[in-house]
Structure 1
Amino acid sequence: MKIIVNVRRLKISAELKKYIKRRLQFALGSRSDQIQRVEVVLSDLNGPKGGEDKHCRMLLKLEGHQDVVIEDVDSEMQAVVDKAANRASLTVTKRLDRLRHKAKRFRKRLPSFGNMNRDRYMQEDFEEFSDWEAQL
């Protein structure tokens, strides 16, 4: 899982960037093999005015599935990253589990030969149509 951190209209320290990467690896670590890339965009909506204006947008590219987009706003940069990372973890887990259960239900509906001899049944099918050339 590759983590990319971008910032708009504000500067962040190397320590905060390191914290963001560690936080995402912790939150998404169990699903990291199914996540190709995480793009984090941090911005300050109101500039120096203050208030609840730190914005975090996470785009998670999943292997073979639709992307997940998480957005959150808070007054503190670490808090907004924590909230977004928690939501990303829950959303990715839910989505991948839902797809896994859907695949299980589909497999249950497929016919199963179980202990039957497949070759015998296939041979009977071919014998039924073996004289088709003679009928032409």
Structure 2
Amino acid sequence: MKVQINTDSHVQHDESLTRHVESALASSLDRFNGQITRIEVHVRDNNATKTGGNDKHCVMEARLEGLPPMTASEDADTVKSAVSGAARKLQRVLDHALGKLTH
């Protein structure tokens, strides 16, 4: 599974972000590993230099062989919380969509 991480200019894209994204995806989506070809992760700070709650936004888009892209997003106080929340939501989206295909 290929992971592509995109950030805006207000979110630091460093090794710790990459590690956290990969860890969150592994814990939430590991069982779909053979079905997912690529995941795109988009992280941005909605308020940029201003302070405020729930201003970090993460959108994850999973690409699966033969299916349309599936997305999930999360707003949180921190980038890590937004990434973790989006990964958990994407897990539920995939559970639901792939569960329908087997019934």
TM-score by length of 2: 0.91
More helix by share: 1
- SS of structure 2 residue aligned to 1:65: coil
**2:38 maps to 1:37:** yes
Give the structure with the larger strand fraction: 2
Q: Mind listing any 5+ residue stretches in structure 1 that lack a counterpart?
A: 102-136
Partner of 2:89: 87
User: What percent identity do the matched residue pairs reach?
Assistant: 29
Equivalent-residue separation in structure 2 for 1:69 and 1:95 (angstroms): 11
| Structure 1 residues 1-136: aligned runs within 5 Å | 1-10=1-10, 11-51=12-52, 52-101=54-103
The count of aligned residue pairs is 101
Offset from partner CA, 1:64-110 (integer Å, 9 cap, x none): 11210112111111111111000001110110011111xxxxxxxxx
Matched letter for residue 76 of structure 2 = D
SS in 1 for 2:23: helix
Question: 1:7-65 CA distances to partner (integer Å, 9 max, x unpaired)?
Answer: 11221331121111121022100011111100001011110112121010111101111
CA–CA distance in structure 1, aligned partners of residues 4 and 13 of structure 2: 14
Q: Distance in 1 between matches of 2:101 and 2:77?
A: 35
User: Residues 54 and 80 of structure 1 are in contact (CA less than 8 Å); yes or no, is this contact kept in structure 2?
Assistant: yes
Q: Give me the CA root mean square deviation.
A: 1.1
Contact kept? 1:31, 1:93, Cα under 8 Å: no
CA distance in 2 between counterparts of 1:40 and 1:5 reads 5
Flag as ranges the 4+ runs of structure 1 deviating above 2 A: none
Amino acid in structure 2 at the alignment position of 1:87? K
Q: What runs of 5+ residues in structure 2 fail to find an aligned partner?
A: none
| Structure 2 counterpart SS, 1:27 | helix
